[in-house]
Structure 1
């Protein structure tokens, strides 16, 4: 594993994202998806996840929607500075009892702050009404059946599959959960592992089926870093030099055409 591959501030994978470094037993990969994840683990980090407070993790993931960690991290820090010690440390109760304009001002660095603040207050009110406290909500997330928890999270307005899966992974520590963000969605279709026209849920189904459960967590976080460093949306490393990408021998380059310099979404790539 790289000593410096992990960013210092990264909601998904860095130190602020929690997790314990774990060495997985070396063995031959059964699928190409597993081979990709194994190589990602060599490039970046291998971790097991779990232990984050569920409501704070939910809020943190909402803050990260449609923005970068660089923008959402200060918003999270400001939110915790203002609300973390209120109502005996119950963040859900603190947000449920506050007004939306104040919260919006607090998290403005994350962008879409009016929408995100309204979403967080509505969810906080439901958590307090339905579970009693952030602590009881955390117990629900960590102890109940994963599908039951996922369904409950998806019932919150403003919570999509990726957000729900991040809470299952980073709070519940559930193995076999591979959240699909824009990087994961792009990478596994570009690699040719998932169908080129697969939506986020279809990519999740394919990857979770082909990657061993214990490797899904670090597979998700390392895929994000790989997407940032190598497999970007517009200028992937292979565009100028096929050997510049550490996945070159495992990738179908769907939608990437080095001979013309063109890059399109895999769904828009012409059929072979």
Structure 2
């Protein structure tokens, strides 16, 4: 039985829920899957995979946080008759060298790019929304963000652009086959500059302070994050300080035919929604 259903993994997550909404608006049949969705999908439970893959044409894949499972998932997808895969990875994954950061994403890329299916890889920079939807949010609400990031800038991308790009690639078979898109915002900012823009948009005095990766990992552990996850996040900043992923690209325009949203636009929208108010 053939079908035009699109499977969206991580459907309750930051990108997945946005991608699913866009596809539905375009009339695409969507199967939203996560550990808590009506269609259950759990990377640690391969028994949940086949039902999610049944009669699916294309899948949006958000890799698990451990290396390995995507290889078996790709084999299951091939056997189920899936035709295309779109993988969310990380900016410049093939430049990370001997870093321990992102082994999960690199393993997932190997699995997808080595498959017999049509594939596309999306590699976004850090999301602007990390400042209001993720680990950076609570410290900003408290008045100070302390991270191991210094003078090397980051081309933060608005997650709405990532979702737009993913929905476009998922909806356009053939056009993006075998492509790796490095998705960035229009300009790079240091974390200090980003916090200053958020401060101005929110009308609150917010500060940025640089700390060491070890201090940051210890801080995360103190907040209840596991030691492995804390080290993983801290290692990302070590990687960023190499400067290999600080440049901007034109790939958002290549996919969408328009420039990416600015960080100022993000900050204004989030501030208007009350993101950083106490």
Q: Is the shorter-chain TM-score for this pair beyond 0.5, marking a shared fold?
A: no
Question: Which structure dedicates a bigger proportion of its chain to strand?
Answer: 2
Name the structure with the higher helix share.
1
Q: TM-score range by the shorter chain?
A: under 0.3
Normalising by structure 1, we get a TM-score of 0.27
TM-score by length of 2: 0.26
